[in-house]
Amino acid sequence: MPSRAAVILLGLLLAGDSDDSADREPVATNSEQKAIENKSLKASFLTSFFTSTLSIFERRSDSFSVEKKPTKSRSYGWTTAVRKVVTSGSMRRLQEHILGTSRFDNLSMTSQIWFLGKCYKLSLEESSQCSDPGNSYAAFLEDFSSRIWITYRKGFEPIVESKFTCDVNWGCMIRSSQMLVAQALILHHLGRSWRKPLQKPYELQYVEVLHLFGDSSTCAFSIHNLLQAGRGYGLAAGSWLGPYAICRTWETLARANKEQAEHDKCKESLPMVLYIVSGDEDGEQGGAPVVCIEVAARLCSDFSKGQLEWAPILLLVPLVLGLEKINPRYIPLLWETFTFPQSVGILGGKPGASTYIVGVQDDKALYLDPHEVQPAVDIRRDDSEADCTSYHCSTVRHLPFDMIDPSLAIGFYCRDKG
């Protein structure tokens, strides 16, 4: 009898038999580009509106600075009132609703959460009498905020053959994929129970993982090097791409990185096999993706130069599970993948806006959002005192499962053949 995990995964893999697979493209379609533009316009409009509203009243307030004190007080009071409205919880919720984001305040306090293979039975009881504090809400938040969060950055070195020093509005799929691979590396080096230390110095292995994803061509898995590796799949600075193209990009980059490590006789940056589970050679002709043990065994043997029977392996499974919307019959199967201890999440989100989906609760998909702009930072691989705060997030966002873009990619990290 096949295992429950095998049956669930088979159900998702067979989704590749549908005609939807023919719609998979390395770069965004026109509709996807429009979705990006519309989202960007929404964000720009809101930002401009809120900023201009405040600035108008601030200038109005300043203009009274040479007048009598009562007049200044009235203008100051008006400015304060407007500021309170603009920054109030209701306005923020409206803004998040328009931009398509939700925070953790709508999570159920009674339903369990499956988060990257671990189950949390939430409880508001945070006292010492809690029967299992490891399953508490606080424990979940500690686990969530320990995952590596990679977002838009600004002010990094210019990308080769372009003037881009920022990836806002086009780099979200790249950032989401970096988070997934970073989680696989944390699992490999530090284990699933690892949590970010509260105090410095940090483990050098953790700092080394962060260094790999720095925004410089000297960092192995930087946006610069991913763009270089993905040229053959249409990847270019300023352009959005789909899950299949980014999976193949990682395959190319991992191969180049391994060859470089062998040439320089240094440690490999990705100490695991990367296996893209696809139905055919280029992933655009349809066919059910199948995990072939013989292929995996050969990849492992080649990876270890025949010294090991089996090597750790990262499976990336790009799928298209519907046309405009995800087919409802696949949602329970997709949900179940988060119960696998091998789960490293899903590259997915709304059309044209990729996120890193890391967990589920009821009908909600929980995710880390790359759509926040932060200054580029340089974390050296040997700096145990580095400021790593920008690589972690405690805000749990979610969206309904049936709102997920049907084009996605599932990740699994398997330490051994078993």
Q: Determine whether 165 is exposed, middle or buried from the number of CB atoms within 10 Å of its CB (0-12, 13-18, 19+).
A: middle
Q: How far apart are CA 406 and CA 32, in angstroms?
A: 12
Does the annotation count 167 as an active-site position? no
Catalytic-labelled residue, pool 20, 172, 219, 224: 172
Q: What's the chain's length in residues?
A: 418
**398: its two tokens:** 């979610």
CA-CA-CA-CA torsion sign (73, 75, 78, 84): negative
Does the annotation count 119 as an active-site position? no
Does the annotation count 369 as an active-site position? yes
Please give the DSSP secondary-structure letter assigned to residue 203. P
Q: How far apart are CA 189 and CA 191, in angstroms?
A: 6
Output the CA–CA distances (angstroms, integers) from residue 43 to 39, 40, 46, 226, 400, in the order listed: 6, 5, 5, 27, 21
Residue position matching structure tokens 């990006």: 36
**Amino acid at position 175, single letter:** R
Catalytic-labelled residue, pool 369, 383, 388, 393: 369
Catalytic-labelled residue, pool 300, 371, 383, 398: 371
Q: DSSP strand E in 4-69: where? A: none
Q: How far apart are CA 133 and CA 130, in angstroms?
A: 6
**DSSP reduced 3-state for 169:** coil
Residues with catalytic roles? 172, 369, 371
